[in-house]
Amino acid sequence: MSKAVFYHAGCPVCVDAEQTVLNYLDAAKVSVEVVHLGADRDRIPEAELAGVQSVPALLIDGNVYHINFGASLEDVKKG
């Protein structure tokens, strides 16, 4: 079982992508942790280390997939 992390910041495009990702990923193959970086600001450094540059992003098997372009991490830090 792989573990994935879906980083978002509550923006509309984030919520929309989150629903699709959680709906269609195979729960038998991967478990997804959802992290709201706007609320959980302590997780921002971890996200940056993993290579997250914008949200929404899906970290899976060590690879970061940036989905659309919602908000940069710099904007999340300011917000």
User: Residues in the site for a second copy, rule: CB under 8 A?
Assistant: 2, 4, 16-17, 20, 23-30, 60-61, 63, 65-69
- Rounded Cα distance between 20 and 36, Å, is 16
CB of 3 to a second copy, least distance (A): 11
DSSP state of 17: H
CB of 42 to a second copy, least distance (A): 26
CB of 60 to a second copy, least distance (A): 6
- Rounded Cα distance between 71 and 4, Å, is 20
Placement of tokens 């609320």 in the chain: 39
